[in-house]
Structure 1
């Protein structure tokens, strides 16, 4: 995986982890009847949009990298040789 795509993936994983932690805090605040539940719900909704964008950013970054650098392809060890190459 290229470095730019890896950076986007790490960023997305961190954002998703923070969003899930925030959702757990919202659940606990709601169960406890805390005043903090409503602001945390609003912030969790915003975090969900950010997490969605972070996941899309992985795909966009990957597509941009492939467009700039092309697909790196190498034949695998299981690839057959061409019949003409064997005869020579």
Structure 2
């Protein structure tokens, strides 16, 4: 009896499992994200190599010296990978990554220049049309 009362009290409206919320930050552009993933993987491998080199050294294994050399080389590569993320981000932002919003000053200036060019072309076409007609359509003839 009690179970049917509880079911009757529950609202019958559909409730979604989650509610979509807009992202707080924009997604990284693809080239930057690829560089970041590459850097994370390289840094993870470098850290694993460093731990293995340390353990080999502590155990007195013959593998300690080659592992230390590989660790040094992979540290250089990991540094390059981290710098690659930064450089890729800067290049993307400077080349094509500037997102123009409707309120952007640059966009408004381009729009004004475009209007001025269109007006100048329309005036030039009208002037050419008047010259072709032999001056008709003017208010006064010189």
Count of residue pairs the alignment pairs up: 75
CA distance in 1, matches of 2:58, 2:100: 54
CA distance in 2, matches of 1:74, 1:25: 51
Higher relative contact order (CA 8 A, sep 6+): 1
Larger Rg: 2
Given the two structures, how large is their TM-score scaled by the length of structure 2?
A: 0.50
Structure 2, unaligned runs of 5 or more: 1-27, 103-142
* Displacement of 1:58: 0.3
Matches within 5 A, 1:1-88: 1-72=28-99, 74=101
Per-residue CA shift, 1:12-51, capped at 9, x if unaligned? 0000000000000001101110000001101100000000
* Displacement of 1:67: 1.3
Q: CA RMSD in A?
A: 1.4
Structure 1, unaligned runs of 5 or more: 76-88
CA distance in 2, matches of 1:7, 1:43: 24
